[in-house]
Amino acid sequence: MKIGFIFGTRPEIIKLFPVMREFRRRGHKVCLISTGQHGELIDIFFKVFNIEPDFDFDLDVENRTLARLSADMLENLDRLFEKIRFDLVFVQGDTTSAFIGALCAFYHRIPVAHVEAGLRTDDMNEPFPEEMNRRLIGRMAVFHFAPTKRAVENLRMEGVKDENIFLVGNTVVDSLNWIVENKKDEMERSFRKLVEDTQSDRLILLTMHRRENWGRRMKEALSGIKMYLLENPDFLLIFPVHPNPVVKDVAYDVLGNLKNARLIDPVDYVSLLALIEHSRIVLTDSGGIQEEAPSFGKYVLVMRNKTERYELLEGGFGELVGTDGKRIYEALKSNMNKNMKLKEMKNPFGDGKASIRIADIVESTVM
């Protein structure tokens, strides 16, 4: 089979990598298509996984509206699909790249396989535009690879036929396991370089970048974290800051002068996993980190009003704290020592064999 994999952001590369690798291992012709949605930020991930895109649109994403970005992606994919006829196209998650990739494949009558299908918050504004993106992908996909039972039920409730829904687990666990198996020494070197002489058992990891948290929400959340850090100078916050000025300016304005807050440039995936592994607690508005932290037995404070990953909450691996500063401050105080209980608990997002299941299903259905 000739299979196209469309991606444009870091989470997509992370979660599609084990699927690409499995199909390539089985002898299929795999074509990697980068939309360039995250620009140069994703280049370091190509190096981590030792992959190179076969097609890279290298779009000018700076200050582009979602509509213009979508139009450029659609035009580039349309040209590509006119030249190359794929038997199947994979998209992952809920990004603009995934939505436009699925749409263009649908226009060209190419079957779409959706990895991480069925996640829902039931609120079109949280996250925006991701909730709408994944719902629309769900109307176009032929293969719906759901990571959890809840995701399966969401798809059924929307009328997707059972024969098109497959419970496989989340491929992020496959990817994480590959990193730990193949890059463990690099993880440790990266961690030591980042923390230097800091006590490794008193780290707090923070990531924050979501569009719906820009502005007042972000400032409020960071103010709550600042309050905790001022009262606990023996703890060090590490914050890989997104380069977008909307995020960066607020981050440095609120936390830039704190001695125990280290604001750093974005890190590669190996370094990020090392930071998660060694952190006492994780604060994030990221979807992927909600899935990665449980693999290391880490408790997550989710700085969003809603999450599509309820398994994190139900499994006792985290809680929703929103962006209210006082709530975040109290959550940090009360949850700092929960990790010891979590390390022996089952990961709610899978066993690391999702990519094998996906390849088995496609081969048994298409070939």
Domain coordinates in residue numbering, the chain? 2-170+350-366, 179-342
| Residue 199 tokens, joined | 């006590």
pLDDT at 136: 98
DSSP 273-300: HHHHHH-SEEEE--HHHHHHGGGGT--E
> Cα(261)–Cα(4) distance, rounded to whole angstroms?
42
Backbone torsions φ then ψ of 343, nearest 5 degrees:
-60, -30
**Going by C-beta distance under 8 Å and a sequence separation of 6 or more, which residues neighbour residue 205?**
237, 238, 239, 275, 276, 279, 281, 282, 283, 284
At 91, is the secondary structure helix, strand, or coil? Answer: strand
Q: How far apart are CA 145 and CA 114, in angstroms?
A: 6
**pLDDT per residue as tens digits for the range 90-118:** 999 999 999 999 999 999 999 999 999 99
Task: Count the neighbouring beta carbons within 10 Å of the beta carbon of residue 125.
Answer: 12
pLDDT at 344: 67
Looking at residue 200, what is its pLDDT? 60
Residues with a known catalytic role: 94, 116, 130, 209, 211, 242
> Average pLDDT of 55-82?
89
Q: Are 303 and 213 in contact, with CB atoms under 8 Å apart?
A: yes
State mean pLDDT over 179-206. Answer: 85
End-to-end CA distance of the chain: 8
Averaged pLDDT, 301-322? 94
For residue 195, what pLDDT is reported? Answer: 82
Q: Is 10 in contact with 43 (CB distance < 8 Å)?
A: no
The model carries a pTM of 0.88
CA 330 to chain centroid, in Å, comes to 26
Rounded to an integer, the average pLDDT of 201-226 is: 94
Q: At CB < 8 A and 24+ separation, what contacts does 150-157 make?
A: 150/118, 150/310, 150/311, 151/116, 151/117, 151/118, 151/119, 151/120, 152/118, 153/118, 154/118, 154/119, 154/120, 155/117, 155/118
Q: If residue 263 lies in a helix (H) or strand (E), which one and from where to where?
A: strand 261-264
Three-state DSSP at 342 gives helix
pLDDT at 38 over 90: no
Give 39's pLDDT tier (boundaries 50, 70, 90): low
Judged against a pLDDT cut of 70, whether residue 88 lies above it is answered with yes
Domain made up of 179-342: CATH architecture: 3-Layer(aba) Sandwich (3.40)
CATH of domain 2-170+350-366: 3.40.50.2000
pLDDT tens digits for 111-159?
A: 999 999 999 999 999 899 999 999 999 999 999 999 999 999 999 999 9
